[in-house]
Amino acid sequence: MSNPQELAIIREVRDGQVEQYRFLMERYHRGLILHLFNLVHDEALAEDVAQDAFIRAYEKLSLYNEDFSFSTWLYKIADNLAFQHMKRSKVTQNIEEIEELLPDDRPSLSEETDKLFMQEAVRDAIAALPVGYRQVISLYYWDDFNYEEIAEIMERPVGTILTWLHRAKQELRKELYGQVG
């Protein structure tokens, strides 16, 4: 459910005070772009899709159901647009092209360099995941959505979301540490 301040803004926009929509855009702009970047791995495309999502949400604001969170609805619109673009562009992830992320013979590094190396390895490992797993990881860990909200955004049962999250974490462990389970 949306918070009362958001509902008031949405109602004002529906009543013709269209300039109020900028408050919703300002609130969700950065997070939405980060979320989309984690899906499409292209900053310009993430910004374009976010902009399109805000426009689409504005155009369809009369269809918004106030029983649900505005952010969930907006992210669902954005995800659908991103997936449409990926289908059109036939974007695919090729796991075989991902280099070995943590070679055993790497040189000894300072603690800070180790931290940066691990962050890059995690980003690369996440990029290698199937798109659904990437989306679940992004929504859960970076965007702080709960399982029910993720299920709604992805139009999947909560059980599927739990399974995908578990499998995504297994794949990440396997990729990063050579462990399963």
Note whether 127 and 118 are within 8 A (CB): no
Domains of the chain: 1-92 (1.10.1740.10), 97-181 (1.10.10.10)
Residue 20: name the closest of 29, 11, 28 by CA: 11
Query: Quick one: what percent of the chain has pLDDT higher than 70?
Result: 78
pLDDT at position 116 is 57
Q: What is the rounded average pLDDT of the residues 7-20?
A: 93
pLDDT at position 108 is 39
Per the listing, tokens 């092209």 go with 97
Note whether 69 and 4 are within 8 A (CB): no
The kind and range of the H/E element at 16 are none
State the pTM of this model: 0.59
Note whether 68 and 2 are within 8 A (CB): yes
Alpha carbon 79 to chain centroid, angstroms: 8
Q: Does residue 89 have a pLDDT over 90?
A: no
- Measured CA to CA, the distance from residue 146 to residue 43 in angstroms comes to 25
